[in-house]
Copies of this chain bind each other. A is one copy, B any other.
Amino acid sequence: LSAAAHFAIDVHSHVVPEYLPAYLGARRPANWPETVDAPESRGLCHRHVMINGKHFRTVSEKSWKGTRRLTDLPAMGLTAQVISPMPELLSYWLAPGDAQPLLRYLNEHTAQMCAQFPGRLLGLGAVALQDIDLAIDELRYCVRELNLVGVELGSNINGVVIGDMRFDPFFEACEALNAVVFVHALKPTGMDRLFGPPALQQVLAYASEIGLAAASVITSNLMLRRPKLRIAFSHGGGSLAMLLPRLQQGWQAFPAIREAVLEAPVSQARRLFFDTLVFDAATLRHLAHVFGTDQLMIGTDYPFNFSEQAPLKRLAEAGFDERTQAHLAWHNAERFLGREIAALRPNFTQGST
């Protein structure tokens, strides 16, 4: 067995609580999310997630039940997992005062799952980034009170791309609190360029969106301002690997870009982390070439249907040597998370169930 086969951390997996809190204000917003009963299927409890009164997705108990998750991890070759809310629950589109109690509920729920499996599950919080002060307060609560390792952010906040300078105070707080950031595609641009069924939103527009979001972090010099920040992008950075050489050339060709972007785009890209969720060995190899073998970490999108079932097999298929496989499987994730993962230590004993 290779080193990679011994330990592996998945940094991209999601949580949906079985129940979402009732709205406690006077007038429930139309887009307040809820979950409702769905028929049991394949021996698993299911819930429908309803958004705007419409069915958004059906999720199984894998989404909320830690014990079930801990059974699935070894089957996928995983030792530990970072869990974050299903992005459509991030609620940037609600009034901040409405979003806050919902996100607090999600954060408590995530923290409880992690507490049940210490050293195996690590949690990312959700913050109302439509109100930066509120978001910083909740970030502090997530890190200090709930022991979450950082936050999941959408790739845009109500249409404002995540690299926009207005979010800088939040990233400053992340750096100060040693909180990691995982940026996930959400409400993507480019929907007007899809031809085909609605699922193309996730399949094509998400990859396009997260690529532009990662590019925005480069063109705004985020990592030069916040050099200790540890920030990762979902879906292998989406289109970024293809945009980057053109951005690099444009940086050389256009004085205005050269003036705005203070370090070569290809160098700035190598200060970012990316997951491996690209579903193709050759593409993974290309990502390793573009971003470096130190910046990639396993991502699966567990427990959703459209997910990577055998992430370690993909690493092996890509032909990485054992040392590189170990980096992609867990060393890089430990560096990203800024801590040793207990489950990876030889003397670690399984947490309580």
A interface residues with partner B (beta carbon < 8 Å) = 156, 159, 161, 163-165, 189-190, 192-200, 202-209, 211-213, 215-216, 219-220, 235-236, 238-243, 245-250, 253-254, 256-257, 259-261, 278-280, 282-283, 286, 289-290, 305-306
Residues of chain B contacted by A200 (CB below 8 angstroms) = 219, 250, 257
Complex-state Cα separation, A159 to B48, whole angstroms = 34
Given A165-B195, A193-B213, A200-B257, 15 more A-B residue pairs with CB atoms under 8 Å apart are A193-B212, A197-B259, A199-B254, A199-B257, A200-B250, A204-B212, A204-B243, A204-B250, A206-B246, A208-B239, A235-B246, A238-B242, A245-B278, A254-B305, A286-B286
A238 CB, min distance to chain B CBs, angstroms: 6
A58 CB, min distance to chain B CBs, angstroms: 14
Complex-state Cα separation, A248 to B282, whole angstroms = 14
Q: Are B250 and A199 in contact (CB under 8 A)?
A: yes
Residues of chain B contacted by A278 (CB below 8 angstroms) = 242, 245-246
Q: Are A260 and B189 in contact (CB under 8 A)?
A: no
Residues of chain B contacted by A189 (CB below 8 angstroms) = 189-190, 192-193
Complex-state Cα separation, A189 to B189, whole angstroms = 7
Q: Is the interface of A mostly helix, strand, loop or mixed?
A: helix
Taking a contact as CB atoms closer than 8 A, the residue among B161, B195, B196 that contacts A192 in the complex is: B161
A159-B192, A192-B159, A254-B203 known; A245+B197 contact, CB < 8 A? no
Subset of 26 A-B contacts with CB under 8 Å: A161-B192, A161-B195, A189-B189, A190-B208, A190-B212, A193-B209, A193-B213, A194-B212, A194-B215, A195-B216, A195-B219, A197-B254, A204-B215, A207-B243, A208-B208, A211-B239, A239-B239, A241-B242, A241-B283, A245-B278, A245-B280, A245-B283, A246-B278, A253-B306, A283-B290, A286-B286
Q: Are A204 and B242 in contact (CB under 8 A)?
A: no
Which residue of A165, A206, A235, A283 has the most chain B CB atoms within 10 A of its CB atom?
Answer: A283
A342 CB, min distance to chain B CBs, angstroms: 32
Complex-state Cα separation, A239 to B247, whole angstroms = 12
Q: Are B196 and A257 in contact (CB under 8 A)?
A: yes
Q: Are B243 and A208 in contact (CB under 8 A)?
A: yes
Which residue of A156, A204, A213, A236 has the most chain B CB atoms within 10 A of its CB atom?
Answer: A204
Which residue of A156, A165, A196 has the most chain B CB atoms within 10 A of its CB atom?
Answer: A196
Complex-state Cα separation, A219 to B200, whole angstroms = 9
A247 CB, min distance to chain B CBs, angstroms: 6
Which residue of A192, A208, A279 has the most chain B CB atoms within 10 A of its CB atom?
Answer: A208
Complex-state Cα separation, A219 to B201, whole angstroms = 13
Residues of chain B contacted by A256 (CB below 8 angstroms) = 197-199
Complex-state Cα separation, A193 to B159, whole angstroms = 8
| Smallest Cβ-Cβ distance to A247: which chain B residue | B203
A193-B161, A257-B197, A286-B282 known; A202+B239 contact, CB < 8 A? no
| Smallest Cβ-Cβ distance to A254: which chain B residue | B199
A245-B278, A306-B250 known; A194+B208 contact, CB < 8 A? no
Complex-state Cα separation, A194 to B289, whole angstroms = 25
A202-B250, A204-B246, A282-B289 known; A220+B195 contact, CB < 8 A? yes
